Structure 1
Amino acid sequence: MGIPTEPIGSIPRSPALLAALADHAAGRISADVLAERQDEAVADTIARLAGLGCPVLVDGEQSKPSFATYPIDGLTNLSPDGAIIPFADGHTRQLPHLTSGPFGYLTHADSYLRAARRHTSLPIKQAVIAPSALSLLYPADGIPGYPRESFIADLVDAAEADIRRCLDAGAHVVQLDFTEGRLALKLDPGGGVLDAFIALNNQVLDRFTAEEQARIGVHTCPGGDQDSTHSLDVDYAGLLPKLFGLRVGNFYLQLASEPDPDRVLAIVASHLPAGARVFVGVTDPIDQTPETPAQVRDRILAAARRIPPAQLGSCDDCGFAPFADDTSTSRDLAFAKISARLEGTALAADVLGG
């Protein structure tokens, strides 16, 4: 029995690319030269993943400014002092906020997909930011002449276009990054913010056919940045039943770093839609110790005791550098963890097939 396995997204950039980014910021190289260095990094990422035997590839987000802000990078109607995301170690990340309308994407994710496609004929997965995350751009006190209702209508249109362009460009799967799902329960334990996020995301997803929804997935995790998380202390039990109400065919769940994974798997088993697949996280990107293939195998077999193997896959808990933090986890460590995921998944498949 084969078990599908997929990466989540980001992989730390190489020292050469980091040097090129610094040189560009300092004016020592042009944007065209930087683009060449980024394309080389994409080619190297794809070649290394393919060399490990990865059946579904990603570009490692080598040229994304971050998983969350790529659509708005370069927009002029933004102010930097938006919503703050606090992490457990005390550091924060801050989103911008919109200062005027209308809202639109400056960059669509299919541009990354098409660039990656030049380097391989293997299946490529494309991550996009969930519209719920970008809804945080709208300021609480509103924007004169641009009501929130108009912003949401523009956001839904833009998010649909982002997903559809990736599907049309041949993405194996389009993955919505929804790290704010668990964080919503930390900010609002009553669940109102999470309910609004789910409803907004489904407003976009409802624009796709059942066949298209089968090629869409959603990833959730408690965040991962500078070896810290923003919501690991929030009970998964509050998120998962609502998460499985999202109308997608694939769910990618952080699990390797959970303190009680079997409890989480029991919740998953009770709520996973009949036609959907759940990819369980078997490697922890913020743990500096590489997993062994045997550890990965055992994590998958534990999941298979709760979830029908036909609905089961494996993944990494999160991207390895989602906020462009390329030094907390090394590039080589990321590939070592991915290698363990691939080998361990094959071992588990042999056990389940036998």
Structure 2
Amino acid sequence: MLVLGIESSCDETGIALYCTRRGLLAHALHTQMAMHAEYGGVVPELASRDHIRRLVPLTQSCLKDAGADFADIDAVAYTQGPGLGGALLAGASYANALAFALDKPVLPLHHLEGHLLSPLLTDEGVDFPFVALLVSGGHTQFMAVHGVGDYVLLGETVDDAAGEAFDKTAKLLGLPYPGGAKLSELAELGTPDAYRFPRPMLHSGDLNMSFSGLKTAVLTAVEKARAEHGGSLPESVRNDICRAFQDAVADVLAAKAAAALRQTGLRTLVVAGGVGANRQLRQRLCALTIGKEAVQTFFPPPALCTDNGAMMAFAGAMRLRHGVQAAAPAGAFTVRPRWPLAQLSP
């Protein structure tokens, strides 16, 4: 079965073709990063319009790369939510129109389920059940995953997501949008323990997290440093602050991941989402042990950490393969900008 995957939840247009026999055949991605950088953040109307421009040519590119034709598609999977309403509508309307024209069925999918299952796309060593850490610009959650469509929320951030905190902190430091990746790059140049920021909710006794307080700590450090340096922020100081911030986030996520594994009795951790590409976080999570027991930690390739069509095509194929969801005829559709992942569970 050949599944076309469509992702348009925010500021990246992703298209992919996944074959249940041959695996991922092709995927194409267009990021709107440069367009939104001028405004310092995502502009929903611009995002929606850009998705409309990109969907058809990206689909044609994938079909060409895969040596396939529209008639070869067996089902169309698309992101129904969560995300920006207009951006979701662009993808959903295109998916349903295309499926209707081809007389093919459609599968409306949850964006976070795509991220959650993405490590299975390239690593056959991942087996159910496992603990999943979804860590992105909009979500930071721990889930117990017992199978496709069977997810239990263990804990989540009570305010900013980790990726959101990275971007907001980068903005405080004067880094261009989106600054999270640049902050991580500069953190590699910083001196460990030159600054020490709080680890919010590290000892809360549950699996919830908080990252908004870190921004306040960074702001205080930046203001103090500028006062000491005549209003400027030396590069070395900026890099040290980046390092301290990244250390704090990594410490919290690693500690909570260990607690989630102990609580569930599981020893497999799957990490997905854009922040999962962070090198220091990967190192910390790969080094986890529970007592004397080693933890198996899996990540998608960095190219598949951000939003992409490959994860949606794969999630659709997995739902069909496991009989969790049947593809439906194209027709009337809705989008779900707010949609808790736990609602997918039986």
**TM-score for the superposition, normalised by structure 2:** 0.29
The structure that has the greater radius of gyration is 2
Larger strand proportion, structure 1 or 2? 2
